[in-house]
Amino acid sequence: MSASATTSSDNKVLSTAVDFFRQTGAFWARPARIIRNYNVKENLRADILAGATVGVLMLPQAIAYALIAELPPITGLYAAIVASVVGALWGSSSHLNSGPSNAASLLVLTTLLPLAVPGTPEYLLLAGMMAFIVGLMRLLMGLLRLGYLVNFVADSVIIGFTFGAAILIGVNQVKHLLRVTVTNTPNFFSTLSDTFAAVPQTHLPSLAVGFGAIVLSVLFKKTIKKIPSALLVMALAGFASYWFDLPNRGVIVLGNLPASLPSFVVLPVFDREVWGQLFTGSLAVAAIGLAEAVAIARSISAQSGEKIDSNQEFVGQGLASMATGFLSGYACSGSFTRSALNYSSGAKTGLTNIFSAAFVLMAMLLFAPLTSYLPRAALAGVIIVTAYYMIDREAMGEIWRTTAGDAWIMLSTFLATLVFPLQFAVLAGIVVSFVRYIGKTSQPEVSSVTPSTDFHDLRENPDKPECPQLGIVTIKGSLYFGSTQHVEEAIRLQRDLHPEQKNLLLWMQQVNLVDISGLHLLEAIVRLYRSDGGDVYMEGVRNAVMDKMRASGFVEMLGEDHFLERETAIPMLFNNVLSPIQCVYDCPHKVWLECQSLPKAHTETKLPPLKIVKPSMILPEYLPAELWRQIQENDALTVVDVRERNEFNLGHIPNAKLLTSPEILADPAQLSDEDEIVVVCNHGRRSRQIQLHLQDLGFDNVSSLKGGLEAWKTTELPLDSEVAIP
């Protein structure tokens, strides 16, 4: 590598490090920017109204989601309050609402059930610790700029997991709907079997309450749009419970919620055993939660026009989950329903979520006694309906109809969610997504292309003849360690199919990434073609890829002049690289636009290998006026026209001798090496190639006409059209 390349590389590393620390500081300073830029007059009223609207929905959801995780309702409320505030201050989206969610709650349940009994202090402590680990993972991913990783979690994984999670949530709530005793277990089939076995012990009043909640939830969801159906059903269920004295009839109710602020919890953050127990489940919650949150933020930003920073969102989600762990909550994520409501309610900034949290806190402190009559069966009915609406049937149908690979990922994730421990099922789906991505990127499309009928672009057309001298290959994908073998095999196959193609043009417009393995592959391809007397050229290299090529020394190895522009690539190669003799006599096709004016003449004479006259070569040449003067003054000058007879008869330099290129190549002894020879053709390409060949044979005094007969005509010098001199 040259010294300048090394210096440039060092400067780039330093610049990258400075940018890294600057952006890290910007992550932490996010709240200051939000508050500094807040316009009270324009935003405050809209944010308060939207915050109150979202708070109305958040209140019942927080309670319901906590119950999914077999946690006290107050834990869900604390998580909603804390996550909303912290997520708003450190997140990227103005509309994403953070807090308890269906998926996170179910993952918390399945992770904690084997470790502790729900309702015990140990269960609550592990829930808080899990929130801390989840948040720390997310925070580190954001600080390390790993926001792009969510792109590798396929939509089919999320949809398949959500479908399975909806079924799991529904089955887990049936025991509360029937008010039967079923042992808590993370195993779906055990839960299902035990629930069926307990059906004879169903408590009919509880079933009636729960079934009524289901019917009303569906009815209200379809008819009443402005007030959350869950809130209405819970209010009616609580009123009915109080009016008909349901607790004394055996219907289980929630009881009083503590009217207090979240308290600080000392978590065992340094306990390695606890880390080992919670790590896998926490990783699943972190991954699914981030994928959900960023997907929600981006879907809303597509309507709002807001720019989303995935890394900043990772930091916000991480800090939100960590804070809920220390403040009596549990692992949280983004909520699509609350976020969509936030946007549709006219929220202007992220402070809307703080107002939502304030509303929930106020309701909790002022109206906590009212929750004491809420029937558990009614909440189970609300949760079952919520789980049903989690299933995105339209998206499932679209995946199943369109993409076989995504369909199998969706189906396998769904089945794994039911069969295996939930955290492993989630991670397995993500791993399958990675494997599929690696499989696709490791086999980028490598295809040979030829000009379209109008010569405006290049296309794949296996039925169209290729140029026997130049192959054009397009690479559609990244050149990295996983794809190099596939790309090399494809290019070698192209070379084996067309061994006469000594030159290769790589169409690099769709290569957006190259690593050291990819650069080594390109070096090997260059050496391969050059060892056979040909060369490699490139067109459309992107700036980021070119930077890597310069830093590694590849540009120097290939040559600056081998990187071509789209508009001039083919003309440059045609005029300076391809053999005009071969074009005329060996190729029956007219592949390029530049070929259209070429004469085509078949010859039985086998042409010897000819060198290509490269632009850097300096060969003796005459300008038209100089040659005309020499013709008049120098009797020892022999002008040899190497074109075909029909070309010659249309016009030639006076006294020129016609010797077609095959005739000279077959018998150069027809010329005397004692005379000065000037080789002439139409444009100067054939003549320069014959000139170089004669020089190699020992002809010391050989020149050519610069620009050929076309240049001669331009200067209006005399032309003859007589029959050639034999």
For the annotated catalytic residues, the residue numbers are 681
First vs last C-alpha separation in the chain: 59
* Burial of residue 21, with CB atoms counted within 10 A of its CB: 0-12 exposed, 13-18 middle, 19 or more buried: exposed
Residue of 340, 391, 408 whose CA lies nearest to 159: 391
Backbone angles phi, psi at 722, to 5 degrees: -80, 170
d(C-alpha 619, C-alpha 402), whole Å: 61
d(C-alpha 582, C-alpha 588), whole Å: 10
Backbone angles phi, psi at 639, to 5 degrees: -95, 120
What b-and-e string marks burial along 612-621, b requiring 16 or more CB atoms within 10 Å of the CB?
A: bbeeeeeeeb
Tokens coding 106: 């179910």
Residue of 616, 578, 617, 620 whose CA lies nearest to 595: 578
d(C-alpha 471, C-alpha 605), whole Å: 25
d(C-alpha 190, C-alpha 192), whole Å: 5
Q: How many residues does the chain have?
A: 726
State whether residue 378 is helix, strand or coil.
helix
d(C-alpha 91, C-alpha 350), whole Å: 8
Tokens coding 460: 């794949």
CB neighbours of 337 closer than 8 A, spacing ≥ 6?
Answer: 57, 61
Residue of 300, 286, 372 whose CA lies nearest to 336: 300
Region at 79 (left for phi over 0; alpha for psi -120 to 50; beta for the rest)? alpha
Any idea which residue has 């013709």 for tokens? 631
